Amino acid sequence: MGWEALLAIGVAVGVLVALATDRLPAELVVLGGLVVLLVSGVLTPQAAFAGFANPGVIALAGLYVLTAALRETGALDGPAHRLLSSARAVPQARRRITVATTAMSAFLNNTPVVAMFMPLATTWARRTGVSAYGLLMPLSYAAVLGGTCTLMGTSTHLVVHGLLLEHGMTGLGLFELLPIGLPVALIGLPLTWLLASRLLRAPERPRADARAARREYTTDLRVTAEAPFLAESVEDAGLRHLEGLFLIQIERAGTVIAPVGPAEPLHAGDRLTFAGVVDTIADLQRRRGLVPADAEEPAGADWRLHEAVISRGSRLVGRSIREANFRGAYNAAVVAVHRHGERIERKVGDIVLRAGDTLLLQAAAGFARTFRDSTDFYLVSELSGEARPRHARAPVAVAVMIGVVALAASRTLPLASAAIAGATLVVATGCLSPGAARRSLDLSVLVVIAAALGLARALEQTGAAGALADTLTSLGADLGPVGMLAIIYACGMVLTELITNTAAAALLFPIALAAAEAAQVDPRPFAVATSVAASISLATPLGYQTNMMVYGPGGYRFVDFVRMGVPLQIVCGVIAVTALTIVYGL
């Protein structure tokens, strides 16, 4: 190997070590390694930054926007409730969401599957007062395991399928990988649950005294005729066991129901009085069928929640909320009121305001800027990310997402083209504002992936990756066909963590064919081993796109993937090699 290859290996190792320490942001570490290769002349600018135009990066950017559209329209609230409503603990929720993800990933590209399920997991975690830490990594692993089962499950299988055709061999059948991938998924998924329960323990719920210190609001919400939970009980509708929230009473046709039992049915027009913390009230505002009881539906789709503190000299002091006419005076609607920890036992519209009261308001995004100097308020602040869902656009967002998945799964369009077209469409149809679309892009993740592709290109162009794979393969020359197959699989496991899964498969494929020729055996199991090994990337967040998608939102460290992914990946490797040996009669 020349100095360029040695430098590329050194930089790759240095990047992995720096990421493992978690002392610097991941995007700075990977981009820094790319810059070293750039200024040293190992990579040209075109090669170094080609990753930023990579279809995978473009597809991920489009999927971020599509996911945001599903979230902003509330399209996933119903499925989240049905899938996870009766889950009372993280292990139960983890099992449900990973089984569904594994099944879907077998027939759909696993990246959009994870993009669809991530908001479900985070919404459930927020509503139940736990961290998504114990859910998102298993979600990614479930998608990876499910993707091994069929040709459609992952782009890696499609790469190997194309390479087989280029070499004059029969391409992979749609279900040819099922006898290998299914045992891996059936054993790997329960093992994921076991490891997650031991290694990904979610933070405990806040203690009662800490919870009491959080600011508590009183709010009235009205059940509308289009509510999806009409005639359901309070418990079945998911309005009990909410973190930091208590349903005080229900007013129905002039009759007050208090206390409210869990079996009490809900009807259109019911007025629900809650006391709770702002985060949970904000979640209620997103529920379809619940609107502020004393206000019309907000006129603007971009209205957001704001907090405002009544000043001592405010003209609002001594007036009830209904008399104050917030819609006419401030183009806002009062959602809830907080008064120094006091629970206000009356309708929100009848509350007579005092100096120091904190109001939770639905108002346009510029409300804080417009009224921050008003003498009516001491303090005005916007609660970012709490826009009321555009429920009317939910069917459009769902249809666009289904269309993107269908186009990509059928290979009518490349995933990147379908995702960008879908992202453009959800913005054009009003499912998502341009500003919200820009905010949905996780630039740190996109930069890490794009820069990592540059590192992979350096390993490939300098011959470092090929030399490493050749060295590892030579170790199994005297071990027979099964030993050689195991070495090839191990090479794929290592390469997919150092570079991208598709690059690992492409680099290892010719070496696998040469190894099969040397052993004078059928090359097909070696080609399949390459595809499966490169597809199962669990040991680092860099190795697979879905791992990167959950890396930041789950609050994980690099070492979390190492601790949980390495043993799981080894077990999956043993199962896969055993299945390959049996299926292909080695």
Q: Does the bond joining 179 to the residue before it have cis omega, within 30 degrees of 0?
A: no
pLDDT recorded at residue 343: 66
> Would you state the pLDDT for residue 22?
64
What number of CA atoms fall less than 13 Å from residue 572's CA on the CB side?
A: 34
State pLDDT tens for residues 524-551: 999 999 999 999 999 988 778 788 888 8
Contact in structure between 169 and 524 (CB atoms under 8 Å): yes
Q: Over the stretch 554-566, which tens digit does the pLDDT of each residue have?
A: 888 888 999 999 9
CA-to-CA separations, 518 to 112, 477, 485, 505, 534, in angstroms, rounded:
40, 8, 12, 20, 22
pLDDT of residue 294: 64
Local structure of 66: helix, strand or coil: helix
First and final C-alpha spacing in the chain: 34
Nearest to 342, CA basis, from 247, 212, 251? 212
Amino acid identity of 529?
Answer: A
Let me know if 82 is exposed, middle or buried by CB neighbors in 10 A (0-12, 13-18, 19+): exposed
Q: What is the pLDDT of residue 210?
A: 40
213-382 homologous superfamily: Regulator of K+ conductance, C-terminal domain (3.30.70.1450)
**For residue 416, is pLDDT > 70?**
yes
How much is the pLDDT for 298?
Answer: 47
The CA distance from 152 to 304, in Å, is 40
CATH 3.30.70.1450 range(s) for the chain read 213-382
**What integer is the mean pLDDT of 126-142?**
86
What pLDDT does residue 374 have? 86
Check residue 209 and give its pLDDT.
39
Inter-CA distances, 180 with 147, 196, 364, 483, 500, Å = 11, 24, 54, 18, 22
- Name 218's bridge partners: 275, 337
pLDDT in tens, 357-379: 888 888 877 788 888 788 888 77
List Cβ<8 Å contacts ≥24 apart for 297-302.
Answer: 298/333, 298/362, 298/388, 300/364, 301/387, 301/388, 301/390, 301/430, 301/433, 302/364, 302/365, 302/387, 302/433
Predicted confidence (pLDDT) per residue in 425-477, tens digit? 999 998 888 888 888 887 877 787 778 778 877 877 888 867 766 776 677 66
Q: What is the mean pLDDT of residues 492-512?
A: 78
Q: 19-39 pLDDT, tens per residue?
A: 767 677 778 888 899 999 999
Judged by average pLDDT, the poorest of 75-84, 213-222, 371-380, 534-543 is 75-84
Q: What is the pLDDT of residue 425?
A: 95
Radius of gyration from C-alpha coordinates of the chain:
27
Residue 504 has pLDDT above 60, yes or no: yes
For the chain, the residue count is 586
Q: pLDDT of 150-189, one tens digit each?
A: 887 777 887 788 888 877 888 888 788 999 999 999 999 9
pLDDT, tens only, 52-63: 887 767 877 887
Q: Rounded to two decimals, what is the model's pTM?
A: 0.64
pLDDT in tens, 93-125: 999 999 999 998 887 767 777 877 887 788 778
Q: Residue 526's pLDDT is what? A: 92
pLDDT for res 179: 94
pLDDT in tens, 263-312: 899 999 898 888 877 777 777 777 778 887 765 544 455 677 888 889 98
**Residue 302: what pLDDT?**
63
pLDDT at 215 over 70: no
Q: What is the pLDDT of residue 184?
A: 96
Instruction: Write down the H helix ranges in 200-340.
Output: 208-212, 278-286, 321-324, 326-330
Q: Which residues sit opposite 272 in a β-bridge?
A: 221, 250
Phi/psi of residue 267, nearest 5 degrees:
-130, 155
Q: Under DSSP, is residue 382 helix (H, G, I), strand (E, B) or coil?
A: strand
Of residues 193 and 210, more confidence is placed in 193
Q: Cα(176)–Cα(152) distance, rounded to whole angstroms? A: 11
Distance CA 431, CA 423 (A): 10
pLDDT (0 to 100) of residue 387:
57
Question: Tell me, what's the pLDDT at 74?
Answer: 75
Cβ 152 vs Cβ 109: under 8 Å: yes
